[in-house]
Structure 1
């Protein structure tokens, strides 16, 4: 099946992943009628990236708040497919819990309700590996799947907000539409996403530049995860969207979630940073700055300080116990179910993904270096 002639709305279109989804939709050989990119703000860089794509598909940029019902009603008019990639991502507690809930959960609910009222038939939700874990004990998973039983830990606000939003999305599947058909929903849970434009990688890159182009070891070598290239995550969204329109595949997709990974080697987060940059002359520390247990004690101390200062000033620790657990727990999942149910296969091989990312790093490193020198003088 193809997406030819469809109107598609992509939320979070100005973000790291959202941009790639929009570009791949515009690149489709059989043109869509329209791609609407929705975000609270879309950077000039994102607009330039969209402008580079040769396409016959109409691109409409819509800037507004996902919590605004009137705006959402306008955004979904005439749309057949919604890809909901908008989200506040917060791994260290920078964002107020209520804000996370308002955007990630309530915003998703409003969008779902608006789609139902306007007979939008297909809805894909970009979930997160963090709805699964790791839990606070750091229980590992090696090559897990959608049936893997795992005892999660409540209390991590970002993961909880994504889990609750995903629950609403999957629970809305098969709701009746006015035209006699029924609503079709599914969710994709990508592993840690890397690639050109990654905001998380930029933080590590800056740290390495200040450390004489040597990456800090924030995760131990044994903490193997299976990161996924941003182009392949975007491609999974396109593939499942096509399968939703296929009568032979839609029954096994609807109401389900899927883990999305690719053939990127299983590495720790720190070793991934090194693999992507070693040909550019970057190095990596052989071991963590202090034993992991001492790092936990340090993080716990910072959390206590944050709690004590709460009545007077908002202090957000740079490292938390949860973050340390996430970075140091083996946690990997297979994409076999996505391959079986909707034919997902990575569009980019590891070497190609690595090359694209390294070229981007080579381009931005001089700019980051100059900027850091200016701010440290």
Structure 2
């Protein structure tokens, strides 16, 4: 039997972090304590029975003293804290500071405090370029020559390389550090503030019942339910605690949510609002021209007012390009299979998105 473990979750107060903690509570065994390190003090936002005590550390992952304190006596770190910025004008300095420097600090703290397991939350963005990918695997999808979300993806790739490259490094106590990475896709579900949330909240404020398509939007979009992604972290931790050698590996965190066009994906969350996507579309070339005009206007304004938007060329292209991968490697090596089927994923999510619409 494995001894009781202390697990630190960085970014545990966020969207994915809250679900990881929930699934650690529900599906882990022999934990002594769950620690959370986040800019925001941890407050439970999901419904579940707590099996293990939670201790909160509040502050930045770039704070060496704080991170080291949180790592003292820990047996594993799930490093989820990250800055995601896919806006028109991404904050490059903050991306470097959080995603790269923050990961360096976490790695250093693991070595100094002899934490033997580090599981890094990377991003599928580091494999998304301008070419289509169908049924991609970890061995068939190359790093693209040009990223779709350049500024963000570069920082995540560098951080992932640092973590996986540190596999086998010697800890202060003379033992080896074991690392791996989980790569979430775009996610939906409770506490989401990204793709589905952005559309739902924008629809809420409009009187136009038909949402125009930006391009044909016929591309197959792949998303994952956040609960399934969270369980992949739990499975990876379980396997590594059993000392199965998966060090230096990375895994795509996909599930069985069907490949769909964006309108089909969003419609279940728009039902009951009186809104749906139009049968017609704005030609992609015209959308891109409009985006360029918006970009120029905002660039002129920014010296006086820091305006920004998610309406950008990369986002429009992403929603009109087929990209999907499999979770075969995680199934084979981690014993992972999605815990939530499509209907339960939609039902769980709908409660949240309806609450957003009714605010």
Q: Taking structure 2 as the reference length, what is the TM-score of the superposition?
A: 0.92
How many residues end up aligned between the 2 structures?
A: 355
Per-residue CA deviations over 1:211-260 (Å, capped at 9, x if unaligned) read: 3465553464421122100000000000011111224xx32x21011111
Alignment of 1:1-377 (within 5 A): 5-28=4-27, 30-42=29-41, 47-49=43-45, 52-133=47-128, 135=129, 138-150=130-142, 151-153=144-146, 156-200=150-194, 201-212=196-207, 215=211, 217-218=213-214, 220-247=216-243, 250-251=244-245, 253-278=246-271, 282-288=275-281, 290-309=282-301, 311-367=303-359
Per-residue CA deviations over 1:238-291 (Å, capped at 9, x if unaligned) read: 0011111224xx32x210111111110101333211134436764222243x21
Alpha-carbon shift at residue 8 of structure 1 (Å): 0.4
Alpha-carbon shift at residue 204 of structure 1 (Å): 1.0
Question: Aligned partners of 1:319, 1:364: CA distance in 2, in Å?
Answer: 21
Question: Aligned partners of 2:215, 2:232: CA distance in 1, in Å?
Answer: 28
Alpha-carbon shift at residue 312 of structure 1 (Å): 4.7
Alpha-carbon shift at residue 48 of structure 1 (Å): 3.9
Cα 1:185–1:169 shift into 2, 3 Å: same
The DSSP-based 3-state class of the residue aligned with 2:183 is strand
Alpha-carbon shift at residue 39 of structure 1 (Å): 0.5
Question: Aligned partners of 1:198, 1:311: CA distance in 2, in Å?
Answer: 31
Question: Aligned partners of 1:29, 1:98: CA distance in 2, in Å?
Answer: 37
CA contact (8 A) 2:32 2:52 kept: yes
Alpha-carbon shift at residue 175 of structure 1 (Å): 0.4
- Is the helix fraction higher in 1 or 2? 1
Alpha-carbon shift at residue 55 of structure 1 (Å): 2.8
Per-residue CA deviations over 1:127-162 (Å, capped at 9, x if unaligned) read: 1111111x2xx3111111111244331571111111
Question: Aligned partners of 2:37, 2:339: CA distance in 1, in Å?
Answer: 25
Per-residue CA deviations over 1:171-202 (Å, capped at 9, x if unaligned) read: 11110123332111111111111011110232
Question: Aligned partners of 2:105, 2:312: CA distance in 1, in Å?
Answer: 32
- Is the strand fraction higher in 1 or 2? 2
The DSSP-based 3-state class of the residue aligned with 1:345 is coil
Structure 1's unaligned 5+ residue stretches are 368-377
Alpha-carbon shift at residue 308 of structure 1 (Å): 4.1
Aligned-CA RMSD value: 2.2
After superposing the two structures, state which structure 1 stretch, 341-350 or 279-288, moved more: 279-288
Structure 2's unaligned 5+ residue stretches are none
CA contact (8 A) 2:255 2:327 kept: yes
The DSSP-based 3-state class of the residue aligned with 2:153 is helix
The DSSP-based 3-state class of the residue aligned with 1:188 is strand
The DSSP-based 3-state class of the residue aligned with 1:325 is helix
The DSSP-based 3-state class of the residue aligned with 1:257 is strand
Cα 1:30–1:74 shift into 2, 3 Å: same
CA contact (8 A) 1:169 1:186 kept: yes
Q: Taking structure 1 as the reference length, what is the TM-score of the superposition?
A: 0.88
Alpha-carbon shift at residue 24 of structure 1 (Å): 1.2
The DSSP-based 3-state class of the residue aligned with 2:131 is coil
CA contact (8 A) 1:192 1:227 kept: yes
Alpha-carbon shift at residue 305 of structure 1 (Å): 3.2
Question: Aligned partners of 2:15, 2:145: CA distance in 1, in Å?
Answer: 27
